[in-house]
Amino acid sequence: MLGAAAGIVWSLAWPGSPAGAYAVVGAAAMLSAAMQAPLTGLAMMLELTGGGFPILIPMIAATVTATVVARYVDGYSTYTARLRAR
Q: What is the pLDDT of residues 7-25, one digit of tens each?
A: 788 778 777 778 778 888 8
Residue 79 pLDDT:
67
Rounded to whole angstroms, how far apart are CA atoms 32 and 66? Answer: 7
Residue 65 pLDDT:
92
The 3-state DSSP class for residue 86 equals: coil
- Phi then psi for residue 21, to 5 deg, are -65, -35
Domain that holds residue 57: 2-85
Rounded to whole angstroms, how far apart are CA atoms 67 and 73? Answer: 10
Whether the pLDDT of residue 85 is over 80: the answer is no
Neighbours of 39 (CB within 10 A): 11
Q: How many domains does the chain have?
A: 1
Whether the pLDDT of residue 26 is over 70: the answer is yes
Residue 15 pLDDT:
76
Residue 14 pLDDT:
73
Name the residue among 56, 57, 34 with its Cα closest to residue 45. Answer: 56
**Cα–Cα distances in Å, from 59 out to 2, 39, 83?**
15, 11, 30
Whether the pLDDT of residue 86 is over 60: the answer is no
This model's pTM is above 0.85: no
Of 18 and 46, the one with more pLDDT: 46
